[in-house]
């Protein structure tokens, strides 16, 4: 698989594809993604982590921002609580496959409190309307009914982060698109280069809702025990013959096939027997045609997810004194 195909696998869009091709053709280039340390690492995060791993495979310098100052502005706890969660998040990212020797993990406070950074946020504020800033924070702000001024600063900081981390490519979910467009339009006005932006899909919650939510517990954490994973998936929203907005289908497409390249379905002989599905397209065709029962799909996906997350369990078993064991009381 060539470089471009590798980094575009499972991606919703790249802005722009032509610019992306040019950047990855270079001998040295960098990719970044920021994560607000606010709770468990789940499959929504795993999509972007997997994309960083893809970039790492083709030689990118990789930067992971553990955005503690953003979390503080978004009212996610004290700075000390957020720092502990950031350590736990870092452990999860390494367990998922990011090479710690090739990944630079940074706290926002490592550079966001410096005068030149603060000046650039002010310069960005002068070039961004209040309406534009408010629109860009709709997917991330905690109190959208009555937002704090801090939450308007949040997306401006995200844009400036890209410049100060010297990132050629910014990776994020499609909910980051509005922020990334502010960065592409306004960073050149501040004297910085325009970043390429790569966006991954947003997964539905296991209950079928549009977004995964800690308050609804409608997601699978990457360190969930196998029995917990199986229980969550067997209860998941999965209407017969419906592939759109179906979280079980999404998990198969974005978590199982990239990892194993096929989905193994074990059924009693009277219901069709063992079946190997070799592409998301084929899976969707079969499911829409009613050739695959929801319970058989759920069982197959749950076992595949358990296998896919086996390296995470092994990592934490091997490192029992990691942030996970020390800070589980935070959740």
Q: What pairing do the DSSP bridges indicate for beta strands 30-35 and 169-173?
A: parallel
CATH architecture of the domain 226-308 equals Orthogonal Bundle (1.10)
Average pLDDT for 46-74: 96
* Confidence (pLDDT) at 271: 84
* Confidence (pLDDT) at 238: 97
Average pLDDT for 286-314: 96
| pLDDT band (50, 70, 90) for residue 328 | low
- Nearest-angstrom CA–CA distance, 51 and 151: 27
Percent of the chain with pLDDT over 70: 92
Give Cα 274 distance to the centre of its chain.
33
pTM over 0.85: yes
* Confidence (pLDDT) at 293: 96
- Concatenating the DSSP letter of every residue in 126-161 gives HTS-HHHHHHHTTTT-S-TTS--THHHHHHHHHHHH
Query: 95-147 pLDDT, tens per residue?
Result: 999 999 999 999 999 999 999 999 999 999 999 988 888 888 765 555 556 77
Where do the domains of the chain lie? 3-200, 226-308
Query: 262-295 pLDDT, tens per residue?
Result: 999 999 898 889 999 999 999 999 999 999 999 9
User: Could you give the angle at the alpha carbon of 10 between the alpha carbons of 202 and 201, nearest 5°?
Assistant: 10
- Nearest-angstrom CA–CA distance, 118 and 122: 6
Percent of the chain with pLDDT over 90: 79
226-308: same fold as 3-200? no
* Confidence (pLDDT) at 36: 94
Computed over every residue of the chain, the mean pLDDT equals 92
Query: 182-194 pLDDT, tens per residue?
Result: 999 999 999 999 9
* Confidence (pLDDT) at 270: 87
- Concatenating the DSSP letter of every residue in 98-118 gives --TTTEEEEEGGGTTTSHHHH
| pLDDT band (50, 70, 90) for residue 151 | confident
CATH top class, domain 3-200: alpha beta
Contact indicator for 281, 262 with CB cutoff of 8 Å: no
* Confidence (pLDDT) at 330: 57
* Confidence (pLDDT) at 72: 93
Query: 210-263 pLDDT, tens per residue?
Result: 877 766 778 999 999 999 999 999 999 999 999 999 999 999 999 999 999 899
* Confidence (pLDDT) at 135: 83
* Confidence (pLDDT) at 133: 85
User: Which of 4, 14, 10 lies closest to 177 in space, CA to CA?
Assistant: 14
């Amino acid at each position: 698989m060539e470089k471009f195909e590798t980094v575009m696998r499972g991606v919703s869009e790249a802005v722009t594809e032509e610019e992306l091709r040019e950047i990855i053709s270079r001998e040295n280039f960098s990719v970044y993604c920021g994560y607000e340390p606010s709770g468990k690492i789940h499959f929504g995060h795993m999509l972007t982590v997997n994309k960083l791993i893809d970039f790492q495979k083709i030689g990118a310098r990789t930067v992971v921002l553990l955005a503690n100052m953003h979390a503080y502005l978004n009212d996610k706890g004290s700075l000390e609580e957020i720092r502990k969660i950031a350590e736990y998040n870092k452990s999860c990212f390494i367990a998922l496959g990011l090479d710690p020797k090739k990944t630079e993990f940074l706290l926002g406070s490592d550079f966001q409190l410096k005068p030149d950074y603060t000046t650039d946020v002010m310069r960005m504020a002068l070039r961004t309307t209040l309406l534009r800033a408010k629109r860009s924070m709709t997917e991330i702000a905690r109190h959208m009914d009555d937002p704090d001024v801090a939450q308007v600063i949040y997306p401006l900081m995200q844009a400036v982060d890209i410049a100060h981390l010297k990132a050629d490519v910014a990776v994020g979910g499609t909910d980051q698109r509005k922020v990334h467009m502010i960065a592409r339009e306004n960073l050149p006005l501040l004297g910085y280069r325009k970043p390429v932006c790569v966006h991954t899909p947003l997964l539905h919650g296991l209950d079928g809702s549009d977004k995964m939510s800690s308050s609804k517990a409608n997601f699978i954490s990457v360190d969930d025990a196998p029995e917990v994973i199986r229980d969550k998936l067997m209860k998941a929203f999965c209407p017969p013959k419906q592939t759109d907005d179906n979280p079980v289908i999404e998990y198969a497409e974005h978590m199982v096939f990239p990892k194993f390249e096929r989905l193994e379905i074990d059924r009693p002989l009277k219901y069709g027997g063992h079946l190997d599905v070799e592409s998301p397209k084929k899976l969707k065709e079969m499911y829409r045609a009613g050739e695959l029962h929801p319970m058989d799909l759920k069982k197959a996906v749950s076992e595949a997810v358990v296998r896919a997350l086996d390296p995470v369990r092994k990592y934490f078993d091997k490192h029992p004194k990691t942030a996970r064991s020390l800070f589980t009381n935070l959740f």
